[in-house]
Chains A and B, each alone.
Chain A
Amino acid sequence: MNLTNLLDLMKTDITALTKSEQLIASLVVTLLSMCIVFVVLMVIMAAVKIMTKSSSKPKKEKEQIIVKEDIKQDEDNKEIVAVISSAIACALNTTTNNIVIKKIKKSENSDTSWSKLGRIEQMSSMLGGYEYDKKI
């Protein structure tokens, strides 16, 4: 008896099978079904990985652009421009005369609330720690 017949009989009239045939048939069902379940879930897994890769690529490029574009100009907020340019000058150990800011672009804040909280805690500890906490 081949496997197709065995499964057919199992579906329609299981009593026609002997105990050992029933055992073989159910083992075949188990093996076959688990393989299908694993294959389907692995296909989904692969698809998720592909989706993740394709959606994260442009994001990286964007981030790089943002970093580069950080040193550029925005006419509306002169104060912010002044602060940013002096900060850059300070970081580069030079004066504001030596740098030209072409465009400043606001980068999207992708921080989670956890990292924001972490930063606030860091800042508060630098600002005198315990007393600052108490004020909050």
Chain B
Amino acid sequence: MGEVVFNFIQSTGIYNVITDFGMYYKQIIMIGVGCLLLYLAINKGFEPLLLVPIAFGMILTNLPLSDIMSHPQTLLNMHPIDSKEAAMQAQQGIWAVDIKNKFPGGLLHYLYQGDELGIFPPLIFMGVGAMTDFGPLIANPKSLLLGAAAQFGIFFTFIGAIFFGFDAQAASSIGIIGGADGPTSIYLATKLKPELLGPIAVAAYSYMALVPIIQPPIMRALTSEEERNIVMDQLRPVSKKEKIIFPIMVTIIVSLILPSAATLIGMLMLGNLFKECGVTDRLSKTASNELMNIVTIFLGISVGATATGEAFLTWQTFKIFALGVIAFSIGTASGVILAKIMNKFSKNPINPLIGSAGVSAVPMAARVSNKVGQQENPGNFLLMHAMGPNVAGVIGSAVAAGVLLSLFG
């Protein structure tokens, strides 16, 4: 009886942590980090839909002996070579084998396959597409340039990451944080540098949650009071026909120029077509609600589970977080600067504040542009104008991801 109890105690996580603290201290710190993220998500409202599953996945994977992320194990029982035939086959490399015993992997390992094989992020993109209105972008196609300018953050950080000693694949995955696009960051990281997925996803979503704090000072520093006061002309109404043609056209154009971006752009535009075509309401609702929610849960929890103590608590993570915020700031700044330049040449006035919305982070970045604009002039509504660069940013970062994939994939 005593032995049974002792065996049970030995199998507990508490016993293992106490007896082998040196091995488990990183996990304990990570459980603390997970709890901190949960606090930020639940109490402070930082991107709760993603940070709650990510943080919980982080806690689960770091609980000692939980093996929730473990690989499946298969024991093979090899038959002895006892006949001439078997010997001849063995020479050709054919062995008779039985699967002796199979230990299934942890639940999150299987869910992680959705990330690893590049399935979940494009599905999220489909949901994003089903929730996005490209109307402001179609009404003012110049917004596309602002969406492109904001991608400077990605490539500036790429240079920074190379300088910090990362290889090209890691630098690409880190740079894409500047696109402020969670699914794209995860997609690129799983394709190019899966071992950095945890820190990259956590950095990307943390900074997206911090958009209202990071962006306004940069926006104010780069614009004059006069510029922030610019009132823009009202956007023209966009016809249903245009809204239907747009996703089909963009998919074909982008995929023909950059086949590696076809997955992300294709799914984004498919979701949008569901919404706009008017005959697939059920599909549009599923893509933007149920499917999106299911995939968000799986993606969040399995991405969080990649943030194990060994992988997360390294200098690399700190570098990634530092580079991420630089990427984000440069993206914001370059959007504002291009908007200022465009304003010099444009007949219709452009408020430079909408340039910062070129980093994706839909619709948070557009809301920030609107808010900063209204602080100067409460009667100035920039939200719809900022939605143009905002959705252009989503297309832009998917294109940038496609370029990096084709260069380093």
Stretch with Cβ within 8 A of B (4 or more), from A31-39, A89-97, A124-132: A31-39
CB < 8 Å neighbour of B159 from A26, A36, A38, A49? A26
Task: Map CB proximity to B onto A41-72 as digits: 1 under 8 Å, 0 otherwise.
Answer: 11111011101100100010000000000000
Query: Given the complex, which residues of B lie within 8 Å of A25, measured CB to CB?
Result: 162
Q: Is the CB of B163 within 8 A of A30?
A: no
Q: Is the CB of A51 within 8 A of B246?
A: yes
Q: Is the CB of B246 within 8 A of A36?
A: no
Query: Given the complex, which residues of A lie within 8 Å of B392, measured CB to CB?
Result: 41
Within the assembled complex, what's the spacing in Å between the Cα atoms of A22 and B158?
Answer: 11
CB < 8 Å neighbour of A30 from B159, B245, B408? B159
- Whether, in the assembled complex, B120 has its beta carbon less than 8 Å from a beta carbon of chain A, the answer is no
Give the contact-size bracket for chain B.
Answer: 35 or more
Query: Given the complex, which residues of B lie within 8 Å of A26, measured CB to CB?
Result: 158-159, 162-163, 171
CB < 8 Å neighbour of B141 from A11, A32, A48, A112? A48
Q: How far is the CB of A19 from chain B (nearest CB, A)?
A: 8
Q: Is the CB of B245 within 8 A of A45?
A: no
Task: Tell me the B148-174 residues at the A interface (CB within 8 Å).
Answer: 148, 151-152, 154-156, 158-159, 162-163, 167-169, 171
Within the assembled complex, what's the spacing in Å between the Cα atoms of A26 and B141?
Answer: 30
Q: Is the CB of A37 within 8 A of B407?
A: no
Q: Is the CB of A40 within 8 A of B249?
A: no
Q: Is the CB of B242 within 8 A of A41?
A: no
Within the assembled complex, what's the spacing in Å between the Cα atoms of A6 and B163?
Answer: 16
Query: Given the complex, which residues of B lie within 8 Å of A47, measured CB to CB?
Result: 249-250, 253
Task: Tell me the B223-248 residues at the A interface (CB within 8 Å).
Answer: 237, 239, 241-242, 245-246
CB-based nearest B residue for A9 = B168
Q: Is the CB of B148 within 8 A of A37?
A: yes
Q: Is the CB of B145 within 8 A of A38?
A: yes
Query: Given the complex, which residues of B lie within 8 Å of A41, measured CB to CB?
Result: 144-145, 147-148, 392, 395-396, 399
Q: How far is the CB of B157 from chain A (nearest CB, A)?
A: 10
- Whether, in the assembled complex, B130 has its beta carbon less than 8 Å from a beta carbon of chain A, the answer is no
- Whether, in the assembled complex, B403 has its beta carbon less than 8 Å from a beta carbon of chain A, the answer is yes
- Whether, in the assembled complex, A84 has its beta carbon less than 8 Å from a beta carbon of chain B, the answer is no
Query: Given the complex, which residues of B lie within 8 Å of A43, measured CB to CB?
Result: 253, 257
Within the assembled complex, what's the spacing in Å between the Cα atoms of A37 and B152?
Answer: 10
CB-based nearest A residue for B150 = A37
Query: Given the complex, which residues of A lie within 8 Å of B177, measured CB to CB?
Result: none
Q: Assuming the A-B contacts A26-B162, A41-B396, are A55 and B403 also in contact, with contact meaning beta carbons closer than 8 angstroms in the complex? A: no
- Whether, in the assembled complex, A117 has its beta carbon less than 8 Å from a beta carbon of chain B, the answer is no
Q: Is the CB of A11 within 8 A of B407?
A: yes
Q: Is the CB of B145 within 8 A of A42?
A: yes
- Whether, in the assembled complex, B254 has its beta carbon less than 8 Å from a beta carbon of chain A, the answer is yes
Q: How far is the CB of B144 from chain A (nearest CB, A)?
A: 4
Within the assembled complex, what's the spacing in Å between the Cα atoms of A30 and B151?
Answer: 10
Q: Is the CB of A14 within 8 A of B403?
A: no
- Whether, in the assembled complex, A23 has its beta carbon less than 8 Å from a beta carbon of chain B, the answer is yes
Q: Assuming the A-B contacts A34-B152, A51-B249, are A45 and B407 also in contact, with contact meaning beta carbons closer than 8 angstroms in the complex? A: no
Q: Assuming the A-B contacts A7-B407, A11-B407, A41-B396, are A33 and B142 also in contact, with contact meaning beta carbons closer than 8 angstroms in the complex? A: no
Query: Given the complex, which residues of A lie within 8 Å of B40, measured CB to CB?
Result: none
Q: Is the CB of A40 within 8 A of B399?
A: yes
CB < 8 Å neighbour of B142 from A29, A45, A51? A45
Q: Is the CB of A14 within 8 A of B159?
A: no
CB < 8 Å neighbour of B403 from A7, A36, A49, A59? A36
Query: Given the complex, which residues of A lie within 8 Å of B408, measured CB to CB?
Result: 10-11
- Whether, in the assembled complex, A27 has its beta carbon less than 8 Å from a beta carbon of chain B, the answer is yes
Task: Map CB proximity to A onto B105-149 as digits: 1 under 8 Å, 0 otherwise.
Answer: 000000000000000000000000000000001100110110110
Query: Given the complex, which residues of B lie within 8 Å of A32, measured CB to CB?
Result: 403, 407
Q: How far is the CB of A113 from chain B (nearest CB, A)?
A: 11
Q: Is the CB of B155 within 8 A of A30?
A: yes
CB < 8 Å neighbour of B395 from A14, A22, A44? A44
Q: Is the CB of B138 within 8 A of A48?
A: yes
Q: Is the CB of A33 within 8 A of B155?
A: yes
Within the assembled complex, what's the spacing in Å between the Cα atoms of A29 and B403?
Answer: 10
Q: Assuming the A-B contacts A11-B407, A33-B155, are A45 and B400 also in contact, with contact meaning beta carbons closer than 8 angstroms in the complex? A: no
A-B contact pairs, 11 of them (CB 8 A): A7-B407, A11-B408, A30-B159, A34-B151, A36-B257, A37-B148, A45-B142, A47-B250, A51-B242, A51-B245, A55-B245
Contacts beyond the supplied A11-B168, A30-B158, A32-B403: 16 A-B pairs with Cβ under 8 Å: A7-B407, A22-B162, A26-B159, A30-B159, A36-B258, A36-B399, A37-B399, A37-B403, A43-B253, A48-B137, A48-B144, A48-B246, A48-B249, A51-B249, A52-B242, A110-B237
What residues make up the interface of A, taking CB atoms closer than 8 Å to B?
A: 7, 10-11, 14, 22-23, 25-27, 29-30, 32-34, 36-45, 47-49, 51-52, 55, 59, 110, 112
